Amino acid sequence: MFKDQKILVAGGTGFIGSNLILRLLAEGSSIRSTLHRRPAIVTDDRVEYTKADLTRMEDCVRAVEGVDMVFMCAANTSGAGVIARTPLVHLTPNVVMNAQMLDAAYAARVKKFVFISSSVVYPPSGERPVKEEEAFLGDPYETYYVAGWMKRYTEIMCKTYAEKIKEPMTTVVIRPSNIYGPYDDYDFRTSHMAAALIRRVAERQAPIEVWGTGGDVRDLIYIDDFLEGMLLAVRKTDRHNVINIAGGRGYSVQQVLETLLEVDGYRGADVRFDPSKPAMIPILLVSAARAERELGFRAKIGLREGVRRTLAWYRAARGVPTAVESARTG
């Protein structure tokens, strides 16, 4: 379905966007991608980059002109610390970008619009993986209230364009669990849990400082698995669908760190958990059952293999010594 299609990847310098560009190039797609503040990560003559501020309607119109499909990967994102200090950073820019991109795509007669939502839309479910149909059964977790409602509002807009107007546009809403892998955000000020831990281990930081108690549990999925599940959902959606793409298993922060240390051979690491620093919620698990039932999708890359690949990529990309070299100089 993606071969020879003109596809816009909005937010092509981000984690998902950069990996998606590489995957779509392999599929034979013709790619346009937006740039905002950061330079292009994927340098390939087959990618048409366009400078755009998606809070400006004229830039949105220009970005979607002549494309068959839009992947809305552009977003203001951040880690737990930023969310705790300035929750409104997720609100206005994202609502404006999402609304304008949907409007511009519809006016340009785009065939499919794919929105990357989030598991933060879900209300508390205890230790049980939450299902797609439960998203609006209560408020999001208090710590994710702003981001959760922002994503929910965009999901409602997607449903409106697909089901509530006379000439609908197909929309696909993807709710990922915690994605990790190459090209993630490794800046400690804005990074998520997995990326921050990967950087600390790869760089042999001492001590390794971890926010919270280490007991928070998340479902992790490697980026290649996520892209496979997302593209399956896009292929199989004719009008509208909302679906979780998740690894199907929860890991505590401490388990993730222990796996990283073991895989990378970092023995005797000085690990210090800091309960005074912002953590988010104790457990957030999402059900992967619908993706398996409707798409035949199941994540294939386990945590050990995923972090092994990511550590190798991080060292190569950042010029960080290998684990063996670190051990010799340590």
Q: Are 64 and 18 in contact (CB under 8 A)?
A: no
Distance CA 106, CA 111 (A): 8
Q: Which CATH class is domain 6-184+220-249+286-302?
A: alpha beta
Q: What is the pTM of this model?
A: 0.93
Tell me if the bond preceding 282 is cis, omega within 30° of 0: no
The closest of 216, 198, 185, 193 to 306, measured between CA atoms, is: 198
Question: What 3 state SS string does 163-185 have?
Answer: HCCCCCCEEEEEEECEEECCCCC
The whole-number pLDDT of residue 212 equals: 87
In angstroms, what CA-CA distances link 221 with 59, 71, 105, 247, 286? Answer: 33, 19, 29, 5, 11
The whole-number pLDDT of residue 320 equals: 87
Q: Are 12 and 63 in contact (CB under 8 A)?
A: no
Could you list the pLDDT tens digit for every one of the 330 residues in the chain?
899 999 999 999 999 999 999 999 999 999 999 998 888 899 899 999 999 999 999 999 999 999 999 999 998 766 556 666 777 777 899 999 999 999 999 999 999 999 999 999 999 998 899 999 999 999 999 888 998 999 999 999 999 999 999 999 999 999 999 999 999 999 988 888 999 999 999 999 999 999 889 999 999 999 999 999 999 999 999 999 999 999 999 999 999 999 999 999 999 999 999 988 766 688 999 999 999 999 999 999 999 999 999 999 999 999 988 765 655 555
The whole-number pLDDT of residue 99 equals: 98
The whole-number pLDDT of residue 281 equals: 81
Distance CA 328, CA 322 (A): 10
In angstroms, what CA-CA distances link 10 with 32, 67, 114? Answer: 8, 12, 10
The whole-number pLDDT of residue 131 equals: 97
In angstroms, what CA-CA distances link 88 with 92, 95, 146, 149? Answer: 7, 11, 7, 11
Q: Are 2 and 30 in contact (CB under 8 A)?
A: no
Distance CA 217, CA 251 (A): 5
The whole-number pLDDT of residue 144 equals: 86
Q: Where are the alpha helices (DSSP H) in 136-212?
A: 145-163, 193-202
The whole-number pLDDT of residue 326 equals: 58
> Which phi-psi region, left, alpha or beta, contains residue 188 (left: φ > 0; alpha: ψ -120 to 50)?
alpha
Number of H helices, E strands in the chain: 11, 13
Q: What is the DSSP string of 294-320?
A: II-------HHHHHHHHHHHHHHHHTP
End-to-end Cα, the chain, rounded Å: 50
Distance CA 195, CA 188 (A): 9
Distance CA 144, CA 166 (A): 34
Distance CA 44, CA 48 (A): 9
Cβ neighbours, 10 Å, residue 249:
16
